[in-house]
Chains A and B, each alone.
Chain A
């Protein structure tokens, strides 16, 4: 079935539960990946997927037929991820998974002692990047993802996360520094 078939969206908008199920089954993997990138863990990603679809279902009547459904869903998912991160934001101060002082990923244990040769496969690179992203706090990760992946300006990121621009900048600085410390050994070639 064509993912871009507008008739499925139209049917779902008219209340056809089977059509909505088709949309869920077509796009949930994409939504999950996006939510995981934003939140950094599987449980949160699953919760965001659930919330994003509930919001999509509720707002479907407002979806414009000419727009791209996935783009619309992407926006909802990003917003749901941000909502979750903001809801948990107060935990940030007390819980920072790892600090820069602990050194780069390449210096932590045998599992990460990969040589540059072993890092050539894209899957390994992806694993390494995702591990590095795992070093960020939820807020740093969200700020970094919104700036680096979603392409929002720092000011826009701050507005989304309910932070002042200066605080947003510092979250992004910390995130990039952690990413750099973790990945620089593998980015030489």
Chain B
């Protein structure tokens, strides 16, 4: 009798993916070897068990929470977009470029390089540190949210409205400043995944910030293609989501000052 079939061969046979060159040998052996037939039957039973399992159910009322989370991320109508760009963003934008960048720098310097070893502090200093951590945590989260929202708006902008690029330039310049601070800190801490996405973001943000005054619909289309091609929005959401999860874990652990950026 020839050699028994390996587990890999049984798996390939189960899925009907045996190589053509091996097909006759495998079929012939399986037809005559009780031991391999038994092994094949055991595999089939396990796979049947897998097939019989019900999928994991969503939490109660998930459909409503899904909408509540989704709706703010959907692109606004053009009229709402204009209002948002001209009124809502300006004050935050002014903050983001100056104070927030400094705050981020201070935060990142402390978080990335000194977070591993807790330092003995007085109770009042510890409370102050906790509060500082919360403020800075919010600043980083807001930077990611602001970047995400701008990219969502641009990715969904009507290509006939190339003027949307010009209207976003000030916002992009400020985001570049904050982005650089975070990226440098992430670089120092060796957070490769964060560095990757921040580098890609920075290139796009610079492209927006430096867009010519007479940008055409082709420029906007190119930018939209790039956002899609590089999966920027999704990657950004992954990072933001991991940060949220990390922050949640830290809150549950009762020490937000030890929060760190997601590790790669």
A: residues with CB less than 8 A from B are: 17, 20-21, 24-26, 28-29, 32-34, 36-37, 42-43, 45-47, 49-51, 53-54, 57-58, 80, 83-84, 87-88, 90-91, 122-123, 125-126, 128-130, 132, 147-148, 153-154, 169, 172-173, 176-177, 179-180, 183-184, 186-188
Instruction: Find chain B residues with CB under 8 A from A25 CB.
Output: 63-64, 66-67
Task: A176-B11, A177-B7 given; name 19 further pairs at CB < 8 Å.
Answer: A25-B63, A28-B63, A29-B58, A46-B69, A51-B233, A54-B70, A54-B152, A84-B234, A87-B235, A90-B264, A130-B56, A147-B15, A154-B15, A173-B11, A180-B42, A183-B46, A183-B49, A186-B49, A187-B42
Chain B nearest CB from A103 CB (Å) reads 16
| B55 in contact with A179 (CB, 8 Å) | no
Which of B52, B67, B73 has the most chain A CB within a 10 Å cutoff? B67
Contact with A130, one of B12, B48, B53 (Cβ below 8 angstroms): B53
Residue B231 is within 8 A (CB to CB) of chain A in the complex: yes
CA distance A165 to B71 in the complex (A): 40
Instruction: Find chain B residues with CB under 8 A from A33 CB.
Output: 55-58
Report if A90-B8 is in contact (Cβ < 8 Å); known contacts: A43-B245, A148-B50: no
A/B pair count, beta carbons within 8 Å? 132
| B234 in contact with A187 (CB, 8 Å) | no
CA distance A36 to B245 in the complex (A): 17
For A154, the closest partner residue in chain B by CB is: B17
| B42 in contact with A50 (CB, 8 Å) | no
For B56, the closest partner residue in chain A by CB is: A36
| A180 in contact with B46 (CB, 8 Å) | yes
Q: In the complex, how many residues of chain B place their beta carbon closer than 8 angstroms to a beta carbon of chain A?
A: 47
CA distance A47 to B238 in the complex (A): 8
- Between A and B, 5 residue pairs with Cβ closer than 8 Å are A28-B67, A83-B231, A173-B7, A184-B46, A187-B42
Report if A123-B67 is in contact (Cβ < 8 Å); known contacts: A43-B241, A87-B238, A172-B11: no
Residue B193 is within 8 A (CB to CB) of chain A in the complex: yes
What are the 5 A-B residue pairs with the smallest beta carbon separation, nearest first? A129-B53, A33-B55, A32-B58, A187-B45, A28-B66
Chain B nearest CB from A136 CB (Å) reads 12
Residue B188 is within 8 A (CB to CB) of chain A in the complex: no
CA distance A51 to B50 in the complex (A): 27
Instruction: Find chain B residues with CB under 8 A from A29 CB.
Output: 57-58, 62-63
CA distance A29 to B58 in the complex (A): 6
